[in-house]
Amino acid sequence: MSTQKRTVIHWFRKGLRVHDNPALIKACDTVRSNPTVYCLRPIFILDPDLLKWLKVGANRWRFLQESLQQLHENLTKINSRLYVVRGNPTTVFPKIFENWNVVQLTFETDIEPYSVKRDNDVEVKAFEHGVMVYQFASHTIYNPQLVLQKNGDKAPVTYQKFMSIVEKIKVSAALDVPEKLPKATIPSNDSEENQNNKCYDVPALNELISDKSLLGPRKFPGGETEGLNRLKRYLKDTEYICTFEKPNTSPNSLEPSTTVLSPYLKFGCLSSRLFFHKLNEVLKKNPKHSKPPTSLLGQLMWREFYYTAAASDPNFDKMIGNKFSYQIPWQENKTYLEAWSHGKTGYPFIDAIMRQLRQEGWIHHLARHAVACFLTRGDLWISWEEGQKVFEELLLDADWALNAGNWMWLSASAFFYKYFRVYSPVAFGKKTDPEGKYIKKYCPELKNYPAGIIYEPWKASLNSQKEYGCVLGKDYPNRIVIHETIHKENLSKMAEAYKLNKQLKDNVNDTSKKRKIENPKSSSKKMKK
């Protein structure tokens, strides 16, 4: 590349798409403004330090690899390509700034603690090298920081409060880019040597995954094109869109009863803003439709709610130091945790869900409710943080904010406080799959058990178990706890924990009031400020 050329970088992290990408548009516009001076290099950095902070399973690595490959292909359609760089961003960028003669860097903002620190460090490096930085909030429909600002710099702690705030925030009715790939290309002005340099190619799958035996069936291919096509297919089904209510979907259907757009939203292969606007277009044409919080639109808003809450607390994924979470004395039990995470609890409905998760990287949201309740307040009394770690590794759509928020909700640690509503590991699954077809698919050792007993194999006599070809304790585990008694014991523990948390909160409030009474002048000064 000629020394006169100045490089404009767009840095992909999430937001792995070309459509509705304001940061990418900014970079493209700069290059188009003077193509004889500027060239564009969209980059993705494979950061090994990320794995010190989170766990990534084989299925999610594959989804990422496919998403990067598709992103590269879509960038070539606008006369560009994806440059994949290996290393820690804080050490990689200074070299890139110097070697590529970089003058501008654009990227999409992120709220995760690791990402916030990383981005701040990179911004400092950019300043030192005279590089202009432009950040854009586009991973969510509403900018979480703006929502917090509208609520007095505090996170709304209820969904209803959140909705009342965002209803006052205007969302552009027209996106900056069309639904498909941008029609306007950029000048292909990078050197042919750089454009064809294979050291920047998308990594092959074996570079990311050492043991391919951990891969399950490829049910949900990664990438922007796949995400857009999936959205398009569902938008055509107007009846499904308008009548969708999450509680009425099946957690144990053999094929997903929901959209499975969450992995594409997590990686930013699909713009949540585009989804929001396209969904509203359908709903406006059909006045009779389901409403939030259970509608599809409502589900999108749950995502926004958790992102806003998480943006206000770097300890959102931990119990201690988390301003939202009740402090509950969970127990440590590695044996129970291992049995739960590998689908060996002796409860077929729970085990089938966890095996589907490990194989396919996805489970229905109501199935997540069932296994999360079972691990925490329902049966095993293990911390939601442990379950969060397992989901973080195995889910395609594992998202820092949503994962932590949902685990707090389902363990009744925050946001939801009706801890006495416990999911039955037997009755809940029977409602939508009385024959146990789902169990037979993911727990094939139980395939010969009849409908009346497949959810409770311990009720079969030993002779019957032998007849069905699956003896408990040998071919399938005995149940590790007795739900009928243990959940009642756990209810008592939760009641006690709630009582102690309330006392703690009351003591804090009393102390605060006392300080105001003892120091009225300082209080009035604060109010004046």
Contact 71, 178 (CB under 8 A): no
How far apart are alpha carbons 205 and 62 in whole angstroms? 7
The percent of residues in the chain predicted with pLDDT above 90, rounded, is 84
Q: How much is the pLDDT for 432? A: 96
pLDDT tens readout for residues 333-380: 999 999 999 999 999 999 999 999 999 999 999 999 999 999 999 999
Per DSSP, helices labelled H in 204-261 are 205-208, 224-236, 238-243
Q: What average pLDDT does this structure show over 498-521?
A: 72
Whether residue 293 has a cis bond before it, omega within 30° of 0: yes
Taking the C-alpha atoms of residue 143 and residue 78, their distance in angstroms, rounded to an integer, is 28
Which residues partner with 84 through β-bridges? 44
Mean pLDDT of all residues in 509-524: 57
In eight-state DSSP terms, residue 448 is T
Least confident piece of the model among 75-79, 183-187, 274-278, 280-284: 183-187
Q: How confident is the model at residue 309 (pLDDT cuts 50, 70, 90)?
A: very high
Question: Can you tell me the distance from the alpha carbon of 507 to that of 515, in angstroms, rounded to the nearest whole number?
Answer: 12
Q: What pLDDT shows up at residue 521?
A: 53
pLDDT at position 190 is 66
> What's the one-letter identity of residue 293?
P
Q: Which two tokens stand for residue 233?
A: 């297919």
What single-letter amino acid sits at 35? P
**pLDDT of 29 above 80:** yes
Q: Is 476 helix (H, G, I), strand (E, B) or coil?
A: strand
Per residue in 113-150, pLDDT tens? 999 999 999 999 999 999 999 999 999 999 999 999 99
Report pLDDT for 508. 66
Q: Which pLDDT belongs to residue 174?
A: 46
Structure-block tokens of residue 176: 């900056």
To the nearest 10°, report the CA torsion of 473, 476, 481, 484. -110
- pLDDT for res 183: 46
52: amino acid identity, one letter:
K
On average, the pLDDT of the chain sits at 92
10 Å Cβ neighbour count for 376? Answer: 27
The DSSP call for residue 383 is: -
For residue 464, the model assigns a pLDDT of 98
- DSSP 8-state secondary structure symbol assigned to residue 121: H
pLDDT surpassing 90 at residue 2: no
- The predicted pLDDT at position 170 comes to 76
DSSP 107: E
pLDDT score, position 360 = 97
**C-alpha to C-alpha distance for 476 and 459, rounded to whole angstroms:** 14
pLDDT of residue 266: 98
Q: What is the mean pLDDT of residues 144-158?
A: 96
Q: H helices of 259-364, where?
A: 262-266, 272-285, 296-311, 334-341, 348-360
Which residues are registered as beta bridge partners of 107? 11, 135
| DSSP label at residue 204 | P
Higher pLDDT, 465 or 522: 465
Residue 48's pLDDT is what? Answer: 81
Report the DSSP beta bridge partners of residue 42: 10
Flag whether pLDDT at 6 surpasses 90. Answer: yes
pLDDT in tens, 161-213: 999 999 988 775 444 444 444 545 676 666 666 666 788 999 999 989 989 99
Residue 195 confidence (pLDDT): 66
pLDDT reported for residue 385: 98
Q: Which two tokens stand for residue 423?
A: 């999911």
With bands split at pLDDT 50, 70 and 90, how would you rate the model's confidence at 517? low
pLDDT of residue 54: 75
In this model, does residue 487 exceed pLDDT 50?
Answer: yes
pLDDT tens for 255-275 read 999 999 999 999 999 999 999
Cβ neighbours, 10 Å, residue 490: 19
